Amino acid sequence: MIEVKHLTKRYGVNTAINDVSFSIEKGTIVGFLGPNGAGKSTTMNIITGYLSASSGSVTVGGFDILDEANEAKKLIGYLPEFPPLYMDMTVKEYLDFMYGLKKVKLPKEKHIKEICRLVKIENVYNRLIANLSKGYKQRVGIAQALLGNPPVLILDEPTVGLDPKQIIEIRNLIKTLGRNHTIILSSHILSEVQAVCERILIINAGTLVADGTPDRLSHDLSNDHSIIIRADGPENEILHAIKAMDHVVDAHSFGEKEPGVYEFSVEGDPGADIRRDLFALMTRNGWPILSMHNTDLTLEDVFLRLTSGTQSGTFLKKGRN
């Protein structure tokens, strides 16, 4: 549904995004993650045709955003970072205006009422937008994106400024819409992305560093992760014994953490669970294990890892397998 190829955007000497490519199937919800200034909004602005790329192409539903702009734009509902609201209009006037601007063909009254019901702005329908709270403004912004029931929704931080109850409602709304819409949403809230999105794109410093389902991202990254244990016993002997175990690829010591207690990291074969054997080994030798944890990565870890600059290159390949 959305095809982004080798997108690059330069502002003078600064490169905002650099050779970003991805494609999104119909009916998927994609989360767009990245630290501030990574290029999320720029990418979204290019996909919606607000900005033009320095090089590369974007097609939406088969229409090029530059060459067949009007056809492509008809398919997109866009909520920018700052909702494009006219402060001097009432919610009703604004939605009427956007309805006309987008050349929507659905029955007007009914369609607008339906959307107001979905995003819960019926009670402010006749109020001036300037007088609404941030949360309501955000919801009006979402409402205008939904006008005309476009098959593609691009939402730049849709839940900013909403109260927790509203956030859950909007999340559920997005999930429901995701059944027959293609949705890209950006967010700073990782748990939100994890809860809503079927696929995650992580962008850092203008380049795409990860692309995959949330599970896959944590799974793939935890492959090169190990078990960390703390044990009471002689350092060298323990290390030696662990290294001699089946399915252990490597082990090393982190040194003495408490008096007589050492910490070790044990890397097992991918796919092999060595925790039980490890426990048995240590018990046999009378070296009590004081703690053992498996460093399965949360999305937060994945995010921090990928955006702090290390390993990013290699991970992208893995994430796409």
Interface map 50-89 toward other proteins (x if CB under 8 A): xxx----------------xxx-xx-x-x-x-x-xxxxxx
- Site residues (CB under 8 A) for other proteins, limited to 201-240: none
Alpha-carbon separation of residue 60 from 2, 82, 138, 151, 198 (angstroms): 5, 23, 25, 10, 19
Q: Is 189 exposed, middle or buried (0-12, 13-18, 19+ CB in 10 A)?
A: middle
Binding residues for other proteins restricted to 10-39, rule: CB under 8 A? 11
Closest CB to other proteins among residues 38, 76: 76
Smallest separation (angstroms) from other proteins to the CB of 211: 25
97 binds other proteins per the rule CB under 8 A: yes
Residue selected from 101, 249, 272, 304 as contacting other proteins according to rule CB under 8 A: 101
Evaluate whether 180 touches 10 at the Cβ level (below 8 Å).
no
Q: Which of 18, 48, 207, 226 binds other proteins (CB under 8 A)?
A: 48
Q: Tell me whether residue 156 or residue 211 sits nearer to other proteins (CB atom).
A: 156
| Radius of gyration, CA atoms only, the chain | 25
Residues 134-153 that bind other proteins (CB under 8 A): 144
Query: Hey, is 123 helix, strand or coil?
Result: helix
153 touches 29 (CB < 8 A): no
For residues 18 and 90, which CB has a smaller minimum distance to other proteins in the complex? 90
Quick check: 278 and 245 in contact, CB under 8 A?
yes
Helices (H), the chain: 40-47, 69-74, 91-101, 108-119, 134-146, 164-177, 190-196, 214-223, 235-243, 275-284, 299-307, 312-320
Identify which range of 100-108, 115-123, 186-194, 306-314 contacts other proteins by CB under 8 A: 100-108
Residues near other proteins, by CB under 8 A: 11, 45, 48-52, 69-71, 73-74, 76, 78, 80, 82, 84-89, 93, 97-98, 100-103, 144
